[in-house]
Homo-oligomer: A and B are copies of this chain.
Amino acid sequence: MNDHGKPRPPPPEDCPLERYLHVVSGAWVPRIVWFLRFGPRRYGDLRRDLKSISGKVLTEKLRALESDGLVVRRVIDSSPPQVEYSLSPRGRAFDPVFDAMVKVSAELERLDAIEVSDGATETGRR
């Protein structure tokens, strides 16, 4: 038997970073939330978005996100069955972090460009 449906895991210590990492950490959770930001996605869509994730892990992480209240699971009763995942308001509360990651990535790229271009300047040799 598994342990899905636990109301919630124990609370983290009272530190902003711990509070954040308690919910969004590991290799897959940030990526899942990333793709859900663009809109609701079905299970199979996410699996393709995330390329190398296994079905087992995707299910595990979606369940965890659901139990943490970041993700809403909606069953569309059709044939074949469809399940749609989307960010809850609580899940959208994480937007600022992802926005910041985009900003940081751009800045890193800029810093890399400078670093490369000033090899010549550095030695002063021309």
A99 touches B102 (CB 8 A): no
Q: How far is the CA of A108 from the CA of B106 in the complex (A)?
A: 27
Chain B residues, CB < 8 A from A103: 96
Among the 9-residue stretches A26-34, A59-67, A72-80, the one with 4 or more Cβ atoms under 8 Å from chain B is A26-34
Indicate with 1 or 0, residue by residue over A82-112, a CB within 8 angstroms of chain B CB atoms.
0000000110011011111111111111010
A117 within 8 A of B: no
Q: How far is the CA of A21 from the CA of B31 in the complex (A)?
A: 9
A97 touches B108 (CB 8 A): no
Instruction: Using known A-B contacts A34-B17, A96-B100, A100-B99, determine if residue A90 contacts B111 with beta carbons closer than 8 Å.
Output: yes
Q: How far is the CA of A97 from the CA of B95 in the complex (A)?
A: 11
Partner of A20, one of B17, B101, B111: B101
A81 within 8 A of B: no
B17 touches A109 (CB 8 A): no
Which chain B residue shows the least CB distance to A33?
B17
Q: A16-B101, A17-B105 are in contact. List 11 more A-B contacts (CB 8 A).
A: A16-B105, A17-B30, A17-B98, A17-B101, A17-B102, A20-B104, A20-B108, A89-B111, A90-B108, A97-B101, A97-B104
